[in-house]
Amino acid sequence: MAVVRVFDTETTGLPEEGKPAGLLEVGWTDVVVDDGGAVVTITDPIAHLCNPFVAAPGLEIDPGAAAAHHIEKEDVAGCPTPEVILRQLMAGADVFACHNREFDRQFFTGGEKPMICTLKAAKRIWPTMERHSNQYLRYALKLPVDRYIASLAHRAGPDTHVTAHLLARMIEEGATLPEMIRWADAPVLLVRMPFGKHRGSPVMELPADYLRWLNGTELDRDMRHTLRHIMKQRGLA
C-alpha cells in the first residue's frame, strides 16, 4: 500500500524578492493505492489554520489572496505556527501530490519524499482540455466529489478533496505513481495555447509573427519547451 497525501496551501500572497509570504492554512486528503496500482480509498479532508505572524509580525495578507480564500489575521490568532502543522502533514505519507507543485513547493518541499504535480499530469493525460485547473477538471470530468465538502473553493481542505478525486481518475485512466512522479520534473509539450489572445487555439497553428513575439517574452518552462518545439517544426528557429 502507498499513501499519497494530496495537500494544498492558502497563503498571505505570492513570495517575491524583498516581500516574504507565509502559510495561513494547510489541508490534505489521503489517496490510498494498493500494490497493484488501484485506488483503495480516499479519506475525508483535514485542514488546519496556522499563524505565520508569530515569526513575522510585519507580514500582511495581500488583498488579492484574501479575496480568494477569505482568511484574515484575526482568524489565525492563537493558531499553531506553520512549522507545527507541516510536521503533521509529513507524518504517514509515502508520496505527496498537489495541483501546482511549482507554487506549493515554495512553502512545503516534502522532504525527501517524491511529489506529484496533478496539473502537469492533467496536461499530459488530457492535452486538448480547454483548461487544467482542478475546479474546471472537476466538472469537465464529472468527478464524484462530495458537493458539500467541495463547496468552499480556494480553501485548503475542500481543494484537496477535489484534487484527490482528480488523482484517482488519473490512476483509473492508467497513469501510474512512478510515471506521474517523473512527469513532475519534466516539461510538458502543450497542445493548446494556455493564455493570451490565442488562448485555447492549437499551438501548432499559431501565427508565425506571434510565435516570434512570444520568443522574446518571459515564459514558464512548459511554454518555453513548447515554443522551441513548434519553431523548430515550422522552421522558424
Q: Are 149 and 204 in a shared domain?
A: no
Residue 94 DSSP class: S
Three-state SS for 109-144 is: CCCCCCEEEHHHHHHHHCCCCCCCCHHHHHHHCCCC
Last residue of a domain, one of 145, 166, 183: 183
Same domain for 224 and 128 = no
Same domain membership, residue 113 and residue 196 = no
Q: What was the pLDDT predicted at 210? A: 87
pLDDT, tens digit, 9 for 90 and up, residues 28-64: 999 999 999 999 999 999 999 999 999 888 899 999 9
Whether residue 35 sits in one domain with residue 130 = yes
**Same domain? 147 vs 58:** yes
Does residue 116 sit in the same domain as residue 67? Answer: yes
| Same domain for 177 and 101 | yes
**What pLDDT, on the 0 to 100 scale, is given for residue 191?**
78
Sort strands 39-42 and 115-117 into parallel, antiparallel or unpaired: unpaired
- Longest Cα–Cα distance of the chain, Å, equals 60
Q: Which helix (H) or strand (E) element contains residue 47? A: strand 46-49
What one-letter code names the amino acid at 10?
E
Q: Which three cell numbers stand for residue 20?
A: 516574504
The CA distance from 171 to 233, in Å, is: 32
Q: Which pLDDT belongs to residue 199?
A: 84
Q: Which of 183, 207, 223 is the last residue of a domain?
A: 183
Q: Are residue 38 and residue 60 in the same domain, yes or no?
A: yes
**How far is 150 from 163, CA to CA, in rounded Å?**
10
Specify the 3-state DSSP secondary structure of 97. strand
Q: Which domain holds residue 59?
A: 2-183
Same structural domain, 170 and 228: no
**For 223-235, how does the pLDDT look when each residue is reduced to its tens digit (9 = 90+)?**
887 888 777 778 7
Based on the structure, what is the number of domains in the chain? 2
Q: pTM for this one?
A: 0.86
Check whether residue 159 and residue 214 sit in a common domain.
no
Query: Which CATH number covers residue 164?
Result: 3.30.420.10
Is the same domain home to 26 and 143?
yes
Residues 156 and 235 reside in one and the same domain: no
Residues of the chain with pLDDT under 70: 17
